Amino acid sequence: MRTWKGLHIEAEGSGISEPLSYQVNLLGTLLGHVIREQAGEPIFNLVETLRSRLKSGEDGYDAVRRRIGELSMDELFWLIRSYTAFFNLVNEAERQEIIRINHEAEVSETPDSPRSESIMDAVHRLKDRGLSVDGVLDLIGDMDIQPTLTAHPTEARRGSILYKQKQIAALLSRIPLKGELSPWEKDRIFTRIYHEIGLLMTTDDIRGERLQVLDEVDNVLYYCKNAIWETVPRIYHDLRNALKVYYDQVPDMQPFLRYRSWIGGDRDGNPFVTPEVTRQALRAYRETALRNYRDAVVKLWQELSPSDLRVKVSEELLASIQADAAFVSLDQHQLTRYRHEPYRLKLRYMQERIERLLREPDAATYTADAFEEDLLILKRSLETSGLGDIGAYGLLSDLIIRARVFGFHLASLDIRQHSRIHEQAVEELLHLGGVTDRYSDLGEAEKIALLEAELLNPRPLAGCFSDFSDNTENVLGAMAVMREAMERDSGSIGSYIISMTHGVSDMLEAILLAKEANLWRLRDGKVESAVDVVPLFETISDLERAGGLMEDLFNSRVYKKHLAGRGNFQEIMLGYSDSNKDGGFWTANWALQEGHEHLSSVCRKYDIRFRLFHGRGGSVGRGGGRANQAIFSMPPESRNGKLRFTEQGEIISFRYAQNRIARRHLEQIVNAILQTVHETQCDPGCSPVMTNMMTELSRHSMKAYRELIDNPDFWEWYKQLTPIEFIGRLPIASRPVSRKAARDVEFDDLRAIPWVFAWTQTRYSLPGWYGMGTAFSQVIAADPENLSLLREMWETWSFFRTVLDNAQLEMARARLEIAAHYNRLSQSDFHEKIVEDFEQAREVVLKITGQKELLDNHPVIQKSIHLRNPYTDVLNLVQVELLRRWKEAPEAEHGALRHAVFLSINGISAAMQSTG
C-alpha cells in the first residue's frame, strides 16, 4: 500500500470538527505529494516555509515579501498554483462538512424536534402557533419563490477546474467517518484523489478566451439540468411530508418555487446579447428541458409495467392512447409488444411527441400543459389500478412537479435593458412618426403626457419604416423575439426589466416600445399585455424616491389600464450593487430596508398585488449573506410570500454543484418564507427611536464614504493599488466591466461587481463595512447613552443584527496589514483613513455585541478565516510583487506577468470564496 507523506495542514481547534480536520489534512498531504513530484523538493519547501513564516504573525511580512521579490517567474507561478489548488481542495472539504452536518441533523430529527431551518421545522412552528391545515395551505398558496440565475462576472474558475473539484468531492463523500473502509479501499480512494489533484495542478486556471453569451447559457444549463432538476421535486415532497406528519394531510400543491434566468436576456451594458443570441438562448433552455423530459419518460417507462391482464386501467387512459394514435405513429412491433401494457404504450407516445419537438425546435405540436395532463392521466389511472401510491410518490410524482415548475422552458428568461436605451429608441420613433423632434428635451410631466397620448392612440409610430438605427433595431428586435417565444410557450419569457428607472416616463417608454412590437395593445378600452414591466431602483436617490414614483405610476391613467390587464400585479426590483457603490454599505442597507417598506405600503394602499425582486450579489458588499436571514429581516409590510432574488457566479456553483447543498439552500428559503408569510407583527425595529438611529447612522456613514471616494486623488490611487485593470481583462464573462477600456475606466463607468472584486483582492473588503466606524463613533460621542440603544437594537431587531453580522464578517475577512503592502504601490493617506475607520468600527462592534473578537458568535467561520489567512497572505504578497514588476517591466515582459496576475486573482478568489 502506498504511504502518503507531504504537506501537513493543522486544522485543530475550536470550531473545526474532527471530520473536517481529517479531510483537510488528507487533501493537504496529497497536494504536498503532487507538488514534490511535479515541481521538486525546493518548491515544496518554499510553499511550506512562506506560509509557516506568516503563520507566526505579521512580523514575517517584510521578510516574506523580500523573499518573494527574489523569486523567478517560474517559482512565482508554482507558488500561485500550489496555494490556489490548496484552497480549491479546502473549499470542497468544507462543502462536505456542510453536507455531513445536515445529514447528521436529519438522521436525528423527530416530529417534536425537527431539523433547524428545515421545511419540517417551519410547519412544526406553524402548528405550534395554532394554525389549522387550511391556514397553512393558504400560506402555501400565497408563496411565490423565484430564484433568478444571472451571468454577472463573478465565477473566476474554469469549467475544467469545477469538474475536477466535483470529482474530488465525490471521492471525499465515499470516505466514512468511522473508518469502515478496508486498507485496500482507502488506498484506492486516496490514489484517485491524488490523481485528480495532479490533473488539477496541470490544468490551466485561466480560459483561453473570454466567454461568449451562449457559453454562459451552457454553463447555467449544467446546474439547471442536474442539481436544480433533481432538487426541486425533493423540496415539494419535503413540504408534503411535513404536512402529513403534523396535519395528516397530503395535498396536491401548485407550484410555489420556479426558476428564472437573465442569461441570454440581460442586454444592459452587454452589446453581445443581440436578438439572435436571445433567440438561441431560448432554444437552448427549451431543448435542455425537452431532453430531460425525454430521459425521464424513458425511466418512467421502465417502471410503469402494469398489465391490463392483471389490473384495471382507466377508460380515460385508453381514450388518451386512442387519441394519440391519430397524431403519432408507432411501429407495429411496439403496438403489438405493448398491447397489454397501456402505461408503457402511453409513455411511448409521449416520448415520440417530445422527440418530434427536439427535431423541430420551433414547433408547438405538444405543449407543456398537454404533457402535464398526460402525466395526470397516468396518475389517475394508477389510482384506478389500485396503485395510487406509485403515482403519489416516486418517478411519476417527480415528473408532474417538474412539468408544473419547469414547463418546456426550464427557466423563464427575463429581458433587461437600460432606460437610456429606451429613451433613445422612443425619441427616434416619435421623430419618424412626426410627433416631436425634441422628446429628450421635454420635462418629465411633458414626457408623461405625450407617452400616454401615444399609448392611447391605436396607430403605430413606425408604420412602414424599417430603416432604424442599430439601437432601435436591437430594442424592437428583442421584443420581436419575446413575442415569438411567448406565442410558442407563454412561460418562456419572464419580466421586462428597466435598469436605472428614474421616472414614470421610463416605464411608459418601455410600454410604448412593447406596443410597437405588438406585445401590448389597447382594445375596447382594455389593455392586453403579454409581459410585466418591472422598474429597477439602484441608486440611493432612486431608492429614496421609489415609493413616490410608484404612487405616481399607479395614478397614471394609462398605467392603471396596463395593471388591470396584468391582473393588478406589479413586480419591483431593488438593486443592491449600485446602491452600495453609490452610498456605501450602511446607507445602502438602510435605503433598501426603507425602500422595501415604502414600496410595499404604496402597493397595499392601491390594492396592487406585488412581488419584490432583490438584485443581490455574492459578496456582502453587494447584498450577499444568508438569504433566509435576509427574509426574516424584511419589514412586515413586504412579507407577502412573494420573493425573487438573483443568484450569480460563484454563488450558483456553490449552491448548485451538489444536490444536498442545493436542497439545504432551498429549504432554508422556504422555511423563512413560510414563517413570515403575512407575518405583520412589528418587532422592536418599528420603534421610532430605533429607526431614527438608523437614519442618523446612515447619514454619517454616507458622508464618510462619499468624502473618501469623491476625493479627487482617490480614483487614481484605487487604480494604482488594485488589480482592476486586470480584472477588466480577465476572461470570465461576456459582459464588459465598464463601458470604457479597462485602463481608461472612471468610477462612474465601473460596474459594481469589479468594484467589489478589486477591494476583495486587496483585502480591504471596503464595500462591506466602510463608513461604519465614523458613523457609530459620532452617534456615541454625541450621546454615550446611544451605546445602550445600539445594544438593544442588536438584541431585539433582526434587521440590525443581520446587517451588523454581515459587516463583522467582512471586517473579519479584511486584512489591513496585507492591504498596507498594496498601498505601497501608490503611497497616500487613504490607507490610514481606512484603517482609522476600521479600528473605530471594530471597537464599536465589539462593544455592541459583547464579543472579545470579531465573529466570536460564529466560531466556525472565525476559525476558517484564521486557518486560511497564512496561505492567502502569501498569495496577496505574490500579487503585490507581480503588480510592482508590471509597473516597472518593459512591455516585452508583460505577457507572462499578465498571466501570472490573472492566476493570482483566481487564487485569491478561491481563498476568499468570493469575487464580486
**Could you give the residue numbers annotated as active site?**
152, 581
Task: Supply the DSSP symbol for 493.
Answer: E
User: Residue 729's closest CA among 888, 477, 901, 867?
Assistant: 901
3 state DSSP class of 521: strand
Burial (0-12, 13-18, 19+ Cβ within 10 Å), 864: buried
CB 65 within 8 A of CB 94: no
Could you tell me which residues come within 8 angstroms of residue 336 by beta carbon, excluding any fewer than 6 positions away?
Answer: none
Determine the residue type at 55: K
Could you tell me which residues come within 8 angstroms of residue 103 by beta carbon, excluding any fewer than 6 positions away?
Answer: 660
Residue 642: beta bridge partners?
Answer: 144
Q: What is the C-alpha to C-alpha distance for residues 266 and 737, in angstroms, rounded to an integer?
A: 14
Distances, alpha carbon 363 to alpha carbons 287, 294, 297, in Å: 12, 16, 20
Question: Within 13 Å of residue 135, how many CA atoms lie on the same side as its CB?
Answer: 13
CB 635 within 8 A of CB 593: yes
Could you tell me which residues come within 8 angstroms of residue 512 by beta carbon, excluding any fewer than 6 positions away?
Answer: 426, 429, 451, 454, 455, 461
Q: What is the C-alpha to C-alpha distance for residues 463 and 77, in angstroms, rounded to an integer?
A: 61
3 state DSSP class of 820: helix
Task: Supply the DSSP symbol for 132.
Answer: -
In this structure, what are the phi and psi dihedrals at residue 360, rounded to the nearest 5 degrees?
-125, 80
CB 821 within 8 A of CB 827: no
C-alpha cell at 574: 431593488
In three state form, how does the secondary structure of 735-794 look?
Answer: CCCCCCCHHHCCCCCCCHHHHHHHHHHHCCCHHHCCCHHHHHHHHHHHCCCHHHHHHHHH
Residue 573: beta bridge partners?
Answer: 536, 613
DSSP count for the chain of H helices, then E strands: 39, 10
Q: What is the C-alpha to C-alpha distance for residues 906 and 902, in angstroms, rounded to an integer?
A: 6
Residue 762, Cα to own-chain centre: how many angstroms?
Answer: 24
3 state DSSP class of 412: strand
Q: What is the C-alpha to C-alpha distance for residues 126 and 104, in angstroms, rounded to an integer?
A: 24
Task: Supply the DSSP symbol for 417.
Answer: E
DSSP 181-225: S-HHHHHHHHHHHHHHHHHHHTS-SS-SSPPPHHHHHHHHHHHII
Residue 609: beta bridge partners?
Answer: 569
Distances, alpha carbon 102 to alpha carbons 98, 115, 137, in Å: 6, 8, 27
CB 611 within 8 A of CB 652: no
User: Residue 585's closest CA among 549, 537, 547, 619?
Assistant: 619
Distances, alpha carbon 393 to alpha carbons 231, 712, 758, in Å: 15, 65, 49
C-alpha cell at 226: 442536474
Identify the helix (H) or strand (E) that includes residue 499. strand 493-499
Q: What is the C-alpha to C-alpha distance for residues 390 and 821, in angstroms, rounded to an integer?
A: 64
Residue 372, Cα to own-chain centre: how many angstroms?
Answer: 29
3 state DSSP class of 150: strand
What is the dihedral sign for C-alpha 718, 719, 723, 725? positive
